[in-house]
Amino acid sequence: MKHTFLSNNRLALALWFRLARFYHKSNSASSKHVSKWGLTLPQFDTLMQIQAFQPITQNELADKLFVTKGNVTHNLVKLEQECLIKRTRQWRSKTIELTEKGIALLNDVGPKQAEFQASLFSALTKEEQKQLLSLLRKLHKDE
């Protein structure tokens, strides 16, 4: 018996597999790249979100990272131990900001990581990159 659900959805499944593979490959390569600065990819993302929205609370940061407050705590402890961030208690919440050392690190790694990420899309022309972004936004809006 032929699996009609596969043949009827072959294109959608191929798209899903390709997106998943690209995402995995991109994350693996990015993890390796930021490790040169002693960072994990989640730590880098955490620092970037703090930089963009500081001062930010732990709850707000967790929302921006799409993780729970508990998940973000582990990264924050490590980043605080490395003197890259400082947490300040303000009544019931803690606000988080980058330290001078954290700012200096991001000033070094940020542009290099952005360039590295751009290289992952170099097989596409600028116009194709714009089309891909438009299509992904369209998929995201349908949620």
Give tens-digit pLDDT for 68-101: 888 889 899 999 999 999 999 877 778 999 999 9
pLDDT at 1 over 60: no
pLDDT at 8 over 80: no
pLDDT at 2 over 70: no
The answer to whether 50 and 96 are in contact (CB under 8 A) is: yes
The answer to whether 88 and 95 are in contact (CB under 8 A) is: yes
What domains can be seen in the chain, in order of their start residue?
A: 38-141 (1.10.10.10)
Average pLDDT, integer, range 102-120: 95
Tokens (6 digits) for 38:
């002693």
Entry pTM: 0.83
Taking the CA atoms of residue 35, residue 39, residue 43 and residue 48 in that order, the dihedral angle to the nearest 10 degrees is -90
CB atoms within 10 A of CB 57: 17
Average pLDDT, integer, range 116-128: 95
Tokens (6 digits) for 19:
């997106």
Residues in the chain: 143
Q: Give the per-residue SS3 of 84-121.
A: CEEEEEECCEEEEEECHHHHHHHHHHHHHHHHHHHHCC
- Which pLDDT belongs to residue 27? 94
Give per-residue pLDDT as tens, 49-73. 999 999 999 889 999 998 888 888 9
- Which pLDDT belongs to residue 4? 62
- Which pLDDT belongs to residue 21? 96
- Which pLDDT belongs to residue 18? 94
- Which pLDDT belongs to residue 68? 85
pLDDT at 121 over 60: yes
